Chain A
């Protein structure tokens, strides 16, 4: 479990201390163990479809119509760094 926690933390760019890894591993073990009871007590193989949404609504569309966009200065107003009308980020290039 500790390996999994470190792996997921790395994917999510979360820095964890060793103590935190131990703590979260124990907690997650508990949670997953509890959910795993479903596997032991219930046969969901053939009767229950996986649920991706809790409610039954479907087909919620919008018409293809243009609505006003934000003025660039407003779109950029929360940017930690900008240059002109661009968001500025550390150089990312794959060569």
Chain B
């Protein structure tokens, strides 16, 4: 029997603000425990939350970018449950009137483009962090993360393979990076993902009983956990075992998901409107303004790289995948109008260097204008492409300009015919047999002679000029 997985993803993204969602505590990562807390985010009685406008604006940007309808009226609710990382015993979240609903994200799959519907994008606050004492009977709470602004992005169950889940997350993360609303750093917890997965016979349209999988801390882990869960549920159906609705935790060390032994009682969050926050009316200006301010998104940018700048689909795709690289590329085009050549250097030597040092294009010592300068030196014939490959490493190391390195090291290419003619004559004399071969019609022989001249000049000769001189001299023989 052929089954297919049916997956919906819930992604939590920490918004990029300097202060928390409802108070002025810093959102900086990694402070001493409980050093970024105040009466509001510690949930002291009598304190009042006030919404961070920046967080709302960023949330609206994301909602618009995934094509959601932003509500005219936004309300917050209290989601009630007891857990020691939740100081108020309720989380301020959204319920029946969320920020936005009914969007979609187009993802690239092996079979072409696929649209994953997005059910809703809503705002909520984060909880604190629990640390469990090894072997002991206590847990420790750090509330620095309590009250951080989060966005929850919930997809419809439109994802039908672990690969599609991986791609959805990759494309969503790229979009969030372009919108500049989150660091999207899974290690720091600023992007988290839970998955709902059920399976069904291929061709059916109903939904089976789902399991909720948590504790996946990378996109690869999401993919692996879904692969495991698909296998597990398939086996259940084949052996006639009932699939139960439950929460399962991914164990990265064992590569399995395991049922989270939890209270039998289903969660009853008793949502009710948060009386401490007045409703927000988003008609008109705020949403329209953000719609106008949306940056060019990855798909549009890719189209422009292909259409207006003449890049191949592949090059455009690779460049757009990293915003810093794409920005770098565009900046460089301003100084040197040969996009294809820039793209080759960026995707080749420059990214190889930056990757080896774990740097982003934005951190590169070699600036876009510097790269343009180097490529102009190649065009002018002052240096060869091969020399440029050495020079660029020094530029990346030191940030020095191409012209400075060329003159410092006496690297300029010899294009002076007089000087090169001398070397050419010597070479022909020393390799009489090869010269003869060429005259008999062996074209390869010329390449050997060019190579010999290059050697004599320590690689500084302009190969095109050497080629021409050798041909002239040999034909006169």
Contacts and interface: CB of A to CB of B under 8 A. Distances in A.
Interface stretch (B49-57, B162-170, B226-234, B355-363): B49-57
A90 B279 CA distance: 37
Interface residues of A, number: 37
Interface stretch (A20-28, A37-45, A68-76): A68-76
Q: Is the interface of B mostly helix, strand, loop or mixed?
A: loop
Contacts of A61: 50-53, 56
A10 to B, nearest CB: 8
Contacts of B142: 85-87
A83 B24 CA distance: 26
A17 interface: no
Given A59-B281, A87-B141, A66 B25 contact: yes
A15 interface: no
B139 interface: yes
A69 B33 CA distance: 12
Contact of B36 (A60, A63, A69, A83): A69
B137 interface: yes
A57 B278 contact: yes
- Majority secondary structure, A binding face: loop
A48 interface: no
A7 to B, nearest CB: 8
B139 A93 contact: yes
Contacts of A55: 278
Interface stretch (B179-187, B260-268, B365-373): B260-268
A48 B456 CA distance: 94
A64 interface: yes
A76 B34 contact: yes
B414 interface: no
A66 to B, nearest CB: 5
Contacts of B80: 11
Interface stretch (B128-136, B431-439, B459-467, B468-476): B128-136
B259 to A, nearest CB: 9
B25 A69 contact: yes
Contacts of A92: 83-84, 130, 132, 139
B94 to A, nearest CB: 12
B379 to A, nearest CB: 47
Contacts of A88: 138-141
Interface in B236-292: 249, 258, 260-262, 268, 270, 273, 275, 277-281
B37 A66 contact: no
Contacts of B75: 52
A55 B277 CA distance: 11
B404 interface: no
A46 interface: no
B42 A75 contact: yes
Given A11-B80, A53-B278, 7 more contacts: A62-B51, A67-B38, A75-B42, A85-B33, A89-B138, A93-B139, A94-B261
23 contacts: A60-B278, A61-B52, A61-B56, A64-B19, A65-B19, A66-B18, A69-B26, A69-B36, A69-B37, A70-B39, A70-B42, A72-B32, A72-B37, A75-B143, A76-B34, A81-B138, A85-B34, A88-B139, A89-B84, A89-B140, A91-B136, A93-B132, A94-B260
5 closest pairs, A vs B, by CB? A67-B24, A64-B54, A52-B273, A86-B140, A61-B53
